[in-house]
Every structure is written in structure tokens, then in C-alpha cells.
Amino acid sequence: MTSTTLPGHPHIAYRGDALYIEQRPLAELAAQHGTPLFVYSKASMLSALGAYQRGFAGRKAQICYAMKANSTLGVLQVFAQAGCGFDIVSGGELERVLAAGAEPGKVIFSGVGKTRAEMRRALEVGIGCFNVESEGELEVLSEVAQATGRRAPVSIRVNPNVDPKTHPYISTGLKGSKFGVAHEDALRIYQRAAALPGLAVVGIDCHIGSQITEETPYLDAMDRMLDLVTTIEAAGIALHHIDFGGGLGIDYRGDTPPEADVLWHKLLAKIDARGYGDRLLMIEPGRSLVGNAGVCVTEVLYLKPGEQKSFCVIDAAMNELPRPAMYQAFHRIEPVSPRHGQTTVYDVVGPICESGDWIGRDRELGVAPGDLLAVFSAGAYCMSMASNYNTRGRPAELLVDGDQAHLIRERESTADQTRLERLVG
């Protein structure tokens, strides 16, 4: 049987006229579990992680999966078992990684709005580091740590003011960003952190954005960060680790981001040349580990021709696949079982009562009602951002490992959604 692998998706392929993920046909999985349905390839996740591990071979390094990309427990378990740490941004995410078997000492806590309760819980379980993002947060964290009889390990997130050349909503390292502290203020803020009794300064952190497809922003940010490390340590503040964040992009539409191992060989050469090759290095990849590991399988409900546009209405929507509505993002859409013959150009849209509920514009498809489509690159920022808008239940999720398909999230019912609600009187 002829096998055709799709670019950027080595573990998803057509075998004859059937689309497979690893050793399982997607049509069979959809028949068993219904649609919309998220299906993830374990081999794809571990392959993406392997590129980072090769890049750091022989180095002191800690890879912390940025779990906001996909926080499903079964996905977190894959990375915990592979030895990863985790980058979290909320108390809820902390509880998820603990439930998935993470080592608390490998957890780093980012985010601009940590609450006192979240700080206390993170200190209680013994996380590895707080990535602090403002002077006010330093003061509060020191107070909380003192009240609990602990010293909080901190690094400060610094904005290197480097343009990542990505969508403005996911650009995080420029001067106008809400994240981190200004590069020119960093030394003063580090001196304040070192003086606070409840804190222990352990590192420095930066993160310039997401879906970055060029190496130049990383190289530029590293230069500015290493300059700052030199300045801070000259002032007598030792930095145990250097955290370079994440943000490496994936191939959505012929994008050509650098391979993780190739990029890090270049970055490590720069680190070595500056004399910091012996430091613990930390990174926070998210999308690049899970994005192309997942597909969303959806059924064609109706074909709706029109004078200006023809629409292919599917049962998935912006509440499962929010990226097109939020970022005008592109997801490849392919038939699960291709028809051979005439095609039509459609806008692929969902059933939500919003004009913004579209999944793909101007897609040439040969489909009929009842056919299945696969929306690609759905492993990141889809289920983790899913909602119940229009009282739609969130889909089931499967993790495929070779010829085994594991149900890692059951389909959500209306009763699940209303369980915590109460009528008055």
C-alpha cells in the first residue's frame, strides 16, 4: 500500500485513500469516539522533544514544557515520563502538572499576575523557580515567602527589546509588552531582589514571543541577555541558571523554522564564546513540542453554495479551534478519505453563531456531507483554549502510541457543563 507522509507531519500519512496517525486510521477512531475529535501522536511529541535533547547533549540543561500550549493530563504525562520540567502560568496549571507526576523541583512559575495564594502553594510544594515579571511581584513574593518561613527562588524575566517577527498578539519581548521588566531597569531590580529577605536570586529569564520562524531574533536576544549577565554578576549577584524561554515555531503553511538541535548548536557556540557554557541552561518550548502532533477530526455537515462564497459547514468550531478567529491563523485541512473528482473552493466554517467562526478560507476540497476532514497542527493552543460557547461540550481527546489509542479526555456533556450551576429559589 502506498504511503504518503504530509510535510511537517512525519507520523501522519495517507495509506492508500485512508489518513492514518501512527498505526491507526483516523476514520476508525472517529467512528468509535465521534466528532469533533482531537487525536495526538505520542511519537511526534517525543520526536520533537528529541531534537532539543540532541541539541543539549552533554550540557547542563533543563527542558521545561510550556504547558499552556496543551495542558491535558495525558499529554503532560508523556513529557513528565520523558524527564521534562514544566513552565506554568497559574495555580491551576501547577495542580495539573503535579497530578501528571511532575517533579516540583523542575517546575518554573511564569506569568504577570501571580496571586498570594498561588505563591503560597508553589512554595509549599517546592517548585524550582519563580520567573518574576515586575518589581511589585518581587515585594509580594518576598512577603509571602517570609510568612511561610521560606526563601523563594527567583529569576527575573527581562525584555531584551528584540522583535521576534511574529503576530503582535504573541510577541512578548518588546518594550511595549506587559511581560517582564525593561532591559535598562534590570540591574537595579536585581539589586532590589538580592536585598529582599524572602528571596534567593538564582537565575535570569527572557521570552521574546511565539511561533518564531527565524534564528536571528534568538541570536540577538542571547547577545543582549549575556551582556546583562555580565553586568549583573559584576555587581556581585551570582546567576546559577540562564533561561532563554521558548517560542520556536512549527510548519503551519510551508513555514521553515530552524530545527531545534541546529538552532541550539548555534546558540551554544555563542554561549561558549562568552564563557557561560558551564551554566545550567533552561528553555521553555511549548508549541514546537505538541503543535504538529495533533489533528482535529471533524464531520462535514452541509455544503452551502453562494454567489460570492461557498461554505463547507463542519461540526468543529471556533470554540475547539480558536486560532483562526483569534490570530487569522492558517491550519491545513485535508480529507480523511479523499474523493477523486471535481473540487470546489470553500470557506470552511463552524456552527457557532459568530461570523468569526471560520476554520479555513478559500480551501479547494472535494467533499460531501458526512465526509470527515482533518484539521492539522491542532496539538497546540486548541484544546487548552477551548470554551463552551453556545453550550457546546469540549471534544474527546485520544493519544495514539503505535497501534494503541488511549482515551485521555472523555467528551464533555451538557450535564458536565451545568454541574456547578444553581437555579435561584
CATH number of 110-285: 3.20.20.10
pLDDT of residue 258: 84
pLDDT per residue as tens digits for the range 277-291: 999 999 999 999 999
Interatomic CA distance for residues 116 and 94, integer angstroms:
14
* pLDDT tens-place string over residues 361-416: 999 999 999 999 999 999 999 999 999 999 999 999 999 999 999 999 999 999 99
CA distance 169 to 373: 28
> In the chain, what percentage of residues exceed pLDDT 90?
79
| pLDDT at 169 (0 to 100) | 39
pLDDT in tens, 316-372: 999 999 999 998 999 999 999 999 889 999 999 999 999 999 999 999 999 999 999
Q: Encode pLDDT of 180-215 as tens digits.
A: 898 889 999 999 999 999 999 999 998 877 778 888
Secondary structure class of 410 (helix, strand, coil): coil
Rg (CA), the chain: 23
Q: What number does CATH give the domain 3-41+291-418?
A: 2.40.37.10
Q: Where in the chain is the domain with CATH 3.20.20.10?
A: 110-285
Q: What is the pLDDT of residues 211-270, one digit of tens each?
A: 788 888 888 888 889 999 999 999 999 999 999 888 888 888 887 888 889 888 888 999
Q: What is the pLDDT of residues 159-176, one digit of tens each?
A: 887 665 543 433 444 455
Span 74-96, mean pLDDT? 98
Task: Give the pLDDT band (50/70/90) at residue 10.
Answer: confident
**What does the pLDDT read at residue 216?**
84
Q: Which of 233, 203, 232, 241 is nearest to 59 (CA)?
A: 241
Query: Backbone phi, then psi, for 117, in 5-degree steps?
Result: -65, -40
Q: Is 353 a catalytic residue?
A: yes
- Residue 177 has a pLDDT of 64
For β-strands 372-375 and 333-335, DSSP reports them as antiparallel
**Alpha-carbon span 406 to 140, nearest angstrom:** 43
Question: Which pLDDT does position 279 carry in this prediction?
Answer: 93
Among 223, 209, 205, CA closest to 177: 209
- Give the per-residue pLDDT at 168: 46
Pairing state between β 152-159 and 181-182: parallel
Which of 240, 181, 244 lies closest to 207 in space, CA to CA? Answer: 244
pTM confidence score: 0.93
pLDDT at 183: 86
Return the DSSP state at 169.
Answer: G
What confidence category does residue 88 fall into, taking pLDDT thresholds of 50, 70 and 90? very high
pLDDT score at 247: 82
Under 8 Å between Cβ of 98 and 104: yes
CB 13 within 8 A of CB 221: no
- Cis status of the peptide bond prior to 36, with omega within 30 of 0: yes
Amino acid making up residue 236: G
Reported as type and span, the H/E element at residue 316 is: none
Res 1: pLDDT = 54
pLDDT (average), residues 87-105: 98
For 5, the grid coordinates are 507522509
**What are the CA-CA distances from residue 94 to residues 179, 217, 288 (Å)?**
20, 30, 21
Whether pLDDT at 154 is above 70: yes
Q: Does 276 score more than 80 pLDDT?
A: yes
Residue ranges of the chain assigned to CATH 2.40.37.10: 3-41+291-418
Which amino acids are annotated as binding site for pyridoxal 5'-phosphate, given as ranges?
Answer: 247, 284-287, 381
Phi then psi dihedrals of residue 61, to 5 deg: -150, 150
pLDDT tens for each residue of 14-72: 999 999 999 999 999 999 999 999 999 999 999 999 999 999 999 999 999 999 999 99
pLDDT score at 418: 97
Q: Which residues pair with 302 in a beta bridge?
A: 313
- Residue 327, pLDDT score: 87
pLDDT at 212: 82
* Torsion sign across C-alpha atoms 401, 397, 330, 328: negative
Q: Running DSSP on this structure, what letter comes out for residue 171? A: B
- Which parts are annotated binding residues? 247, 284-287, 323, 327, 354, 381
Cβ burial of 139 (10 Å; 0-12, 13-18, 19+) is middle
